[in-house]
Amino acid sequence: MVFNSLNFFIFSAVFFPLYFALRGKARLWLCLIASYVFYGAWDWRFLGLIVTSTLIDYYLGLSLEDEQDQTRRKRLLQLSLFANLGFLAFFKYFNFFIESATAGIQSMGYDGSLSTLHIILPVGISFYTFQSMSYSIDVYRKQIPVERNLLRFATFISFFPQLVAGPIVRASDFLPQFAKDREFEWSRFQVGLGQILWGFFKKVAIADSIAPFVDQCFADPSKFGGLHLAIGVVFYSFQIYCDFSGYSDIAIGLARIMGFDFPKNFNKPYFSQDFSEFWQRWHISLSGWLRDYLYIPLGGSRGGKLFTWRNLMITMLLGGLWHGAAWVFVLWGFLHGSYQVLGKILSPYWRKLHDAVRTPKFIRVALNVAIVYFLTCFAWVYFRAGAPNIAMSDQIPIAHGVIGGIFSGEGWNFGAVINKFIVLKGVLLIGMMLFVEILDEKMPMWQMVDQRPAFRVVSFASLLWLIALFGVFSASAFIYFQF
Amino acid sequence: MKKWMWIPVVLLVTFLGDRLAAYLLTSAVEKSEFRYSRLYAGDGKADIVLLGNSRGLNFFQPYIEEATGKSTLNLSYNAMPADLGGALLRDYMDTYGAPEKLVVDVTFLDRDNEELIREFRPYAQYSERLDSLLKITDSSIYWGTKVAHLSRYGGEVAQRMFYYLSKSDEDWLLDRQISKQMAEDSKSLEPYRNNYTLDRIRAFGKVVNAYQAAGTDVRFVINPYYPAFQKSIMNLDSLALDVRRETGIPVLDYSKSVTGDQNFGDYQHLNKKGAEVYLARMLKDIGL
């Protein structure tokens, strides 16, 4: 079930009154059943997977808490990681490994071919697997107490607002919030509803409006001139941002109405001035997860420059692979890893250069933002080429077709751009969104929504008008569901 | 004030704003120079009516009007589906009667296109045919337009309608030359089929036969393709034969009539220069 569908509207109309009518265990049962209905609406067969994953981590957590022997505790943790990563490896990466091995064998001149399996990727598996793993690791590290209530634990793993596309909420942040029943609060409802409307605006009015233009560019780049393709890449950068952050906004808003506080998942990432900052603003829950459970255990920045760079590269490569089972995602991770390493090497010289020529601060900031945005877009080309409808063998050629088309110098006039109407609509909508984001820096929107009824009425009505006017109502899935 | 009072206020403001803005936009629909606005606002009468998909836009109107001295209305649109094209032609006939000539590029019979029918929702309020086509195609969009009138005006067709508020849409044509890369790639094209169906041809045949019965000279053509792409199309001859058999109207095949990269925007579309080369010949052939 997707948020932008009539089914979810009906689901919410039934769920929320019941949620606030019930208390204690009954409410938890409602949350769990509703979450399984929400997830099962895609494919009920995968409910078995999420239940299995839940039971494994629940019982291993109990064993970890009770076990005092460090070696045995380590084995229990390994078992949890093996089970979770095993599901992920089988459902998400099995065919990728087989196809890559086959290609490797054939490139060495052997006539080898290995059979792949017809495996359907369970929606959101990467999200709930990571959430579940973080619980086991935290219990192992004794950073959180074990959860002894299975109902509460199962609800934590399957909580429907963030089940299929995050944010990935840590057990330490989430489980304690189940401790007491949350009452309905007008303040939470007002802000939560505002976040939901803002998320819908980003998803159905922006991301889905510009998606056809992007799809066209990546279907056959040779058909289009440089400017058309460049607009396609810029649009993709906003499509994926609005799609994913829109989902996060809706998830956070739903949880807020229910009485739960989820951490921010996006914080105006395209205003970043370097790539370290970008990763503190983009998909914050994943980058925090990778930092705490991969980068720091690898040694982080504790062992000198080379060691830090190695750890950064490993983290970003695996972060790339987390997004999808294809080499283009690894390449995307590699690019982001390289950007961070190069940033660390070059930034002292860059600062010295600015100091020497006394660049005004706003120019310095604008230049930094522009460079980071340009390089981010370059990496997005590979990421977009990994879309599920593009065969693996076509992904790199398509990415290079887009990049080659942009830098060929051909078709760099607006007359050669096809579908100018989508371009104008996209620019208008993206402009509106960026304007609100800039405004939010000066006047925090959610505070105004909460405290000023007139602002609330005008902003909600405006969002509803914009959604009605520009929305695409085809119940298209969110991009990050595929991860 | 009660804490919940803002909810009915939001709903009321949203409703009133929707109706007011939609009212203003509806008057823009009627003032626009966009061809479908003219069709439904009573300003579309023409001697020659033209129809096709994006390839039908190669019927470059300024050239035709200058060469023949007759007025034109080109109902072609990118990826126009046959059922929508048929509905537009019937609406034309209901409003203005039979034109002198109807010229159709029959390669547009290759598709259904639910997306474009959704896009034509600004005009559904003027046409029972478009309204019922929208209802059959996508009932949620149909009911959406009834609840929120603003939702009629967010699509591409609506945007074009606004764009042509105070200027003619008749002189638009693909303004570029086929890229070197595309020309090079044409050496190894996969076989291509026009996905026409006999049912579609028959349904469209009923529309054009009604035009014939009312005295219109109906002409079917196949507009030019880029030569290498033309060779890759497997079933143009059978399309022409089937159209003739089902409708009784012969098809003039101009698919090979224009050559040279300078005349094409891409594989399926002439540019302005190519359109003039083509029209000079076609207009003579159909007695204009």
Per-residue model confidence as pLDDT tens digits over A394-450: 899 999 999 999 998 888 888 778 888 889 999 999 999 999 999 998 888 999 999
Per-residue model confidence as pLDDT tens digits over A152-177: 999 999 999 988 887 999 999 999 99
Residue B125 has pLDDT above 90, yes or no: yes
As a whole-number percent, the residues of chain A with pLDDT over 70 amount to 96
Residue A384 has pLDDT above 70, yes or no: yes
Residue A363 has pLDDT above 70, yes or no: yes
Residue A471 to residue B154, Cβ atoms within 8 A = yes
Q: Which residue has the higher pLDDT, B243 or B113?
A: B243
Please identify which residue in the block is written with the tokens 């120079």. Answer: B33
Instruction: List Cα–Cα distances, B101 to A117, A332, A349, in angstroms.
Output: 59, 57, 72
Q: Does B1 map to a domain?
A: no
Q: Does B69 map to a domain?
A: yes
Average pLDDT in the A177-184 region? 89
Residue A442 corresponds to which tokens in the numbers above? Answer: 């000066």
Residues of B in contact with A190 (CB under 8 A): 6
Q: Are A376 and A278 in contact (CB under 8 A)?
A: yes
Per-residue model confidence as pLDDT tens digits over A72-129: 999 999 999 999 999 888 887 777 777 777 777 777 777 666 666 566 667 788 888 9
Low-confidence winner among A97-106, A131-140, A467-476, B234-243 (lowest mean pLDDT):
A97-106
CA distance B278 to B220: 15
Residue A295, classified by CB atoms within 10 Å of its CB into exposed (0-12), middle (13-18) or buried (19+), is buried
Catalytic residue among A228, A283, A323, A336: A323
Residue B245, classified by CB atoms within 10 Å of its CB into exposed (0-12), middle (13-18) or buried (19+), is exposed
Residue A46 has pLDDT above 90, yes or no: no
Q: Does B143 map to a domain?
A: yes
Residue A329 has pLDDT above 60, yes or no: yes
The pLDDT score that the predictor gives to residue A303 is 84
CA distance A126 to A53: 12
Examine the residue annotation and report whether A323 is marked as an active-site residue of this protein.
Answer: yes
Residue B185 to residue A222, Cβ atoms within 8 A = yes
Where does the pLDDT of residue A480 fall: very low under 50, low under 70, confident under 90, or very high at 90 and above? low
Residue B179 to residue A410, Cβ atoms within 8 A = yes
The pLDDT score that the predictor gives to residue A104 is 73
Residues of B in contact with A408 (CB under 8 A): 181
Where does the pLDDT of residue A222 fall: very low under 50, low under 70, confident under 90, or very high at 90 and above? confident
Residues of A in contact with B192 (CB under 8 A): none
The pLDDT score that the predictor gives to residue B156 is 85
Q: Are A312 and A340 in contact (CB under 8 A)?
A: yes
Element (H, E) at B251: strand B251-253
Residue A481 has pLDDT above 70, yes or no: no
- Mean pLDDT rounded to a whole number for chain B: 93
Burial call B59-94: b when 16+ CB within 10 Å, e when fewer? bbbebbbeebeebbbbbbbbebbbbbbbbbbbbbbe
Residue B196 has pLDDT above 70, yes or no: yes
Residue B175 to residue A415, Cβ atoms within 8 A = yes
Where does the pLDDT of residue B240 fall: very low under 50, low under 70, confident under 90, or very high at 90 and above? very high
**Domain coverage including residue B180:** 6-285
Per-residue model confidence as pLDDT tens digits over B98-123: 999 999 999 999 988 888 999 999 99
Residue B135 has pLDDT above 80, yes or no: yes
Residue A26 corresponds to which tokens in the numbers above? Answer: 């009954």
Cα-Cα-Cα-Cα dihedral sign, residues A187, A263, A381, A390: negative
Per-residue model confidence as pLDDT tens digits over A131-159: 999 999 999 999 999 999 999 999 999 99
Q: Dihedral angle at the C-alpha atoms of A99, A101, A103, A107, nearest 10 degrees?
A: 180
The pLDDT score that the predictor gives to residue B29 is 87
Which chain B residue is nearest to residue A475, measuring alpha carbons?
A: B140
Is A219 near chain B, with CB under 8 Å?
A: no
- Mean pLDDT rounded to a whole number for chain A: 90
Instruction: List Cα–Cα distances, B25 to B38, B127, B154, B161, in angstroms.
Output: 15, 17, 11, 10
The pLDDT score that the predictor gives to residue A113 is 64
Residue B3 has pLDDT above 90, yes or no: no
Per-residue model confidence as pLDDT tens digits over B15-63: 999 999 999 999 988 999 999 999 999 999 999 999 999 999 999 999 9
**B48 beta partners:** B72, B101
Burial call A232-254: b when 16+ CB within 10 Å, e when fewer? bbbbbbbbbbbbbbbbbbbbbbb
Is A16 near chain B, with CB under 8 Å?
A: no
* 8-state DSSP, B248: S
Residue A38, classified by CB atoms within 10 Å of its CB into exposed (0-12), middle (13-18) or buried (19+), is buried
Is B176 near chain A, with CB under 8 Å?
A: yes
Which of B11, B13, B24 would you mutate first to test chain A, the one with the most A CBs within 10 A?
Answer: B13
Q: Does B55 map to a domain?
A: yes
Where does the pLDDT of residue A473 fall: very low under 50, low under 70, confident under 90, or very high at 90 and above? confident
The pLDDT score that the predictor gives to residue A118 is 65
Is B150 near chain A, with CB under 8 Å?
A: yes
Out of A223, A405, A461, name the one closest to residue B10 (CB): A461
**B221 beta partners:** B105, B252
Where does the pLDDT of residue B90 fall: very low under 50, low under 70, confident under 90, or very high at 90 and above? very high
Average pLDDT in the B166-190 region? 84
Q: Does B237 map to a domain?
A: yes
- Please count the structural domains in chain B: 1
Residues of A in contact with B3 (CB under 8 A): 186
- CATH of residue B244: 3.40.50.1110
Residues of B in contact with A453 (CB under 8 A): 1, 6
Is B166 near chain A, with CB under 8 Å?
A: no
Residue A252 has pLDDT above 90, yes or no: yes
